[in-house]
Structure 1
Amino acid sequence: MLHTIAAFDRLGEENAFAVLARATTLAHQGRDIINLGIGQPDFKTPQHIVEAAIKALRDGHHGYTPANGLLATREAVVRRTLTTTGVEVSPESVMILPGGKPTMFAAILMFGEPGAEILYPDPGFPIYRSMIEFTGAAPIPVPIREENGFAFSAEETLALITPKTRLLILNSPANPTGGVTARDEIAKLVKGLEKHPEVAILSDEIYDVMTYDGETHCSLLNFPELRDRLIVLNGWSKTWAMTGWRMGWSIWPNGEKGAYLYDKVRKLAVNCWSCVNAPSQYAGIAAID
C-alpha cells in the first residue's frame, strides 16, 4: 500500500488550475480579475454548438455512448482531419475522449515503466512530465530554445534517443511558447526516426489552427512512414472554445499494433470514464460541420 501511495506522490500538477481556483475565489469576492493562467479562449462557445447540445438533450440523448465515442462523432473527426491535413483516416482509429489529457495519460501509461525513457518538450505542458514520472519512467527533456523560434530541433531531439527510449512527445504549435516547427525540420526528424523504429510518437496538435504571423502547422499525419507508431492528440477545447465540455479526440496507429493499442485505450475508458456524454458529442459534431 505504501508503495502505491509513493507512486501517487510522484504526480505533479498543472499550476494553471491553482491559479484558476485563486482567481475564481477573488472574483467571488467582487474583485475584477483578468486570469492569464489557463488556456481558456477569449470567446464563448459558438451558439449553434450550444444549441446542438440542447437539441440532443431534448431529443432524448441522455444515456451511455460507446466507450470509443459515437460513430457519427468519429466520422466528423475523419472529415475534419481530411480537411485540415489532406489525410484520410479510419473512424476505427479515432477515439473520442473527455478532453486532451486522457490521450496523454493513456499513451504515457502504455509506454512508461521503470527503466524506460520518454522524451518530452521543455518548456512544455506540465502534465507530460508529471505522467512520465508517475509511471516510473525517466523524463528526458527536449530543449525548446528561443533562438529556434521555440521550435524543436530535429538534431537535438534525435541525439537524445537511446535504446531505453519508448516514446517521443512532440507539440507544435507549442504550449506555452506558441512556437511552430517548420515542415522541413519535422521532415528531418522523421528521416532520423527511421533508425529508431521501436520509438512511438505522441504528437499533441490541439493548437493546430492557432498559428500567426504567416506560420503554418504541419501535422505528423502527413508522414505516412510514421503511421504505424503515431498517436495524434487533438480536440475541441481550443478551436471552438469548448474547454468545459471536455471533448477531445485522438487518432491511433495503423496496422495490427495500432489496433492492439486502440483496444487497450477502449478498455481503459471502460474502466475509468466509461464514455463521453452524448450531448457534448452532438455539440462536437455541430462544431466540425
Structure 2
Amino acid sequence: MTQHLSEMLQRIEASPTTAMTDRAMQLREEGRDIISLSVGEPDFATPAHVIDAAKAALDAGATKYTPVTGTMALKKAAVLHFARDLGIATDPAQVIVTAGGKQAIFQAIAATVSAGDEVIVPAPWWVSYPQMVRFAGGRVVPLITHAHRNFRFDPGDVEALITPRTNWLMLNSPGNPTGAVYPAEMLLGIAEVLRRHPQVLVLSDDIYAPLNYTDGPHATLANLAPDLADRICTVSGVSKSHAMTGFRIGLATGPQWLIEAMGRLQSNSTGNPAAVSQAAAVAALEGPQDFLIEWREIFRRRRDLVVAGINAIPGLSTPVPDGAFYCFIDATPLMQRFDGDDNKLALHLLEAGVAVVSASSFGGKNGFRISFATSEDVLAEAIRRIARALA
C-alpha cells in the first residue's frame, strides 16, 4: 500500500529516549537481563494521598468530560503551585492543563511558529524540543553549551543568535539531559537581552524545579522579570515531582492570548486531560509537599554515587549535575573504538545489559545520558557493567 505521510510528519523522527526504552523492554521480554537507565521516570511510589484522591474521584463518578483546558479546581491548584513553588503570580484564566508537560510545549510551539521562524534551543537539549520546532516548520538555532561550564551560557551568547526571525528562546532548568541549573544572575542577564528584542518569546520548562540540589531557591524567569510576563510561557506538572508520569498531567501559565491559542489547538486534538488524573493532581498540588525533602536527598545520594562511579571508569567523565536526575557523560577518549558514533556506543552498552541514550540524540556528541532515577544497588550494578563493557 502506498504511504501518504504529511510533509510535517516527514520533518521529525521518533523520540530516541522512548525508542531505547522500548528496545530495553523488548529485550527483557526475550529473557535478557537489562538495566534501563534510559527513561526519566522516578522509581518512587505515587504518594498515598494522591492515590486516595484518584480512587475517591472514581467513586464520585469522575469519568466524564471536563472543560477542555482543565477543571477550575485544578487551575486554582495550579495557581497555588506557580505562586508557592515558582514565585509566579497568575490566575486561572492564564493556566492550561494538558496531557503531560510535553503536550503543553508542543501546543505553545504549534500555536506560534510559522515556516522560517527561528527558535533558539540550548544544546544539549531535551530530544523533543527540536522535533516540535521542525514539525511546525520552524528552524532550530542551537546554542551550544559545554560541560566545563556546567552547560550554562552567557546572555551574550543568546543575543548573538537573535535575528528578526527569532520567535522563541527555550529554557530548561534544571535541565534534561544535563542537570544544568540556571542561577538567578544568569536569568537576569537574559532578561536584559530580551528587553532589547521584544519579538522573542520564552518557553521556560521548569518541570524539574523540585529536584534542585543547589543551596539557593529555584530561579525562574517569570519571577525574576515580571515585566516580561506577557512573553513567557512557564511549563510545569506533577510527573517528576510527585512520581505521576502515568497520570499525564502538565500545566502551563503565560499570557492569556497564548493560553487561549493553546486551548484552541487542544480543543481540536485531544480534548480535556483525563478527569480522574486531574482530581489526583489537585491532591498532589494542594496536599503535603514535605516528602520532597526526602526524595531530593535520595536523588542526591544516587547522583553522587553515579558521578563517582562514572569518573572512575577510564575514558568517561561527567560533571556534577545541579538538578534533575540525569548525568550527561563524555566518552571522547573511547570514540575511536566506535567509529566516532555514540549510537554504536549506546548499542554496545545495551548488549552489555545497560540501556542508555546517546549524546547525539540530545544535540550533543561523543557520549551518553543516564538517568539515576532508580535504586543505588541497581545503579552500582549498572556502573559495574559499563566498566566491564568498556574495559
* Same fold? TM cut 0.5: yes
1:52 is displaced (CA, Å) by 0.9
Aligned equivalent of 2:192:
191
Aligned 8 A contact 2:188 2:221 in 1: no
Give 2:261's match in structure 1, choosing from 259, 264, 275: 264
Runs of 4+ in structure 1 deviating by more than 4 angstroms, as ranges, are: none
Give 2:230's match in structure 1, choosing from 221, 228, 231: 228
Matches within 5 A, 1:240-279: 240-253=242-255, 259-279=256-276
1:215 is displaced (CA, Å) by 5.5
Aligned 8 A contact 2:17 2:38 in 1: yes
Aligned 8 A contact 1:221 1:227 in 2: yes
RMSD: 1.7
Give 1:239's match in structure 2, choosing from 238, 241, 244: 241
Matches within 5 A, 1:86-235: 86-214=87-215, 216-222=217-223, 223-235=225-237
1:260 is displaced (CA, Å) by 2.5
Identity of aligned residues (%): 36
278-287 or 213-222: bigger deviation: 213-222
Mark the runs of 5 or more structure 1 residues left unpaired by the alignment: 254-258
Aligned 8 A contact 1:99 1:248 in 2: yes
Aligned equivalent of 2:17:
16
- After superposition, the C-alpha distances for 1:105-163 in whole angstroms (9 at most, x for unaligned) are 11211232222111112101111111111122111011122122112321101211111
Inter-partner Cα distance in structure 1 for 2:222 and 2:257: 19
Inter-partner Cα distance in structure 2 for 1:174 and 1:195: 26
Inter-partner Cα distance in structure 2 for 1:32 and 1:241: 25
1:31 is displaced (CA, Å) by 3.5
- After superposition, the C-alpha distances for 1:195-239 in whole angstroms (9 at most, x for unaligned) are 101111111110111111436420112111110111011111100
* Aligned-partner SS, 1:169: strand
4-13 or 86-95: bigger deviation: 4-13
Distance 1:213-1:115 versus aligned 2 partners, 3 A rule:
closer
* Aligned-partner SS, 2:163: coil
Inter-partner Cα distance in structure 1 for 2:133 and 2:193: 24
Aligned equivalent of 1:256:
none
1:19 is displaced (CA, Å) by 1.4
1:274 is displaced (CA, Å) by 0.7
- After superposition, the C-alpha distances for 1:57-83 in whole angstroms (9 at most, x for unaligned) are 011111001011000001001111111
Larger radius of gyration between Structure 1 and Structure 2:
2
Aligned 8 A contact 2:202 2:231 in 1: yes
